[in-house]
């Protein structure tokens, strides 16, 4: 008795040598699929859905106007306009357009896009005001930011 020792079979630990490869792969995926966050979003925007979607290829030509209720409740719940990291007034839009235009190369200044990211529950009044200002500033190429959906029927 006792002559037979039960042999315990050791299961080797799973090799983690390939772990860095996997993580790097993930990293590269995210680097390709995302863009650097350029500005802090200070307003809450739920984009409406649309089917006739246009995608701008040259991202450096786009400037953003965000309109929606402030993230921070202390600023109230009425929709506000956000230009470059700060709340703004409709009257400031024309100056803003001029300044943003100067950040582009001279040959591309007429090709600037203004992307309007507007919360879907916003009333049109403020949006119309912004559009009128954009017209006065001759920033006529506008993209109404939306997420894509299928065409109905």
Partner 1 sequence: MADIAFLLLIFWLVTTTIDSDEGVKRQLPPPVPPDMEQQEVKDGDVYNVRTNFRDELLVEKEVLSIGELKDGAKDFLIATGTGLLHPERPNVTLGDDNMKYPERQWVRKVDLMALEQSYIAAGQPKAAERVREKLIAIELFGSDYKELPGSALISLQTDRSTSYDLYLQVQNELEAAVNELRDELSLAKFNESYASLEERYGRTKEQSLLDKIVAIRLVYPQRISEAEPRDASQGYY
For residue 38, give the DSSP letter: -
Select the span of 2-10, 47-55, 90-98, 103-111 touching partner 1 (CB under 8 A). Answer: 47-55
Longest dimension (CA), the chain: 101
Q: Please tell me the distance from the alpha carbon of residue 94 to that of residue 100, in angstroms, as a whole number.
A: 10
Contact between 20 and partner 1 (CB under 8 A)?
yes
From the list 42, 50, 88, 104, which residue makes contact with partner 1 (rule: CB under 8 A)? Answer: 50
Residues 6+ apart with CB under 8 A from 104: 60, 61, 111, 112
Site residues, partner 1 (CB under 8 A): 16, 19-20, 23-24, 26-27, 30-31, 33-37, 47-48, 50-56, 59, 62, 115-116, 118-125, 127-128, 131-132, 134-136, 138-148, 151-153
């Amino acid at each position: 008795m006792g002559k037979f020792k039960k042999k315990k079979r050791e299961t080797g630990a799973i090799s983690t040598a390939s772990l860095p490869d996997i993580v790097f792969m993930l990293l590269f995926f995210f680097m390709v699929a995302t863009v650097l966050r350029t500005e802090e979003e200070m307003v809450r925007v739920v984009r409406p859905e649309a089917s006739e979607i246009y995608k701008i290829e040259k991202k450096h030509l786009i400037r953003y106007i965000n309109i929606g209720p402030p993230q921070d409740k202390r600023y109230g719940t009425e929709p506000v306009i956000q230009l470059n990291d700060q709340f703004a007034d409709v009257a400031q839009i024309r100056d803003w357009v001029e300044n943003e235009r100067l950040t582009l190369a001279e040959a591309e200044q007429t090709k600037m896009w203004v992307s309007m990211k507007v919360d879907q529950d916003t009333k049109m009044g403020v949006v119309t005001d912004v559009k009128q200002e954009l017209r006065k500033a001759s920033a006529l190429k506008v993209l109404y930011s939306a997420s894509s959906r299928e065409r109905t029927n």
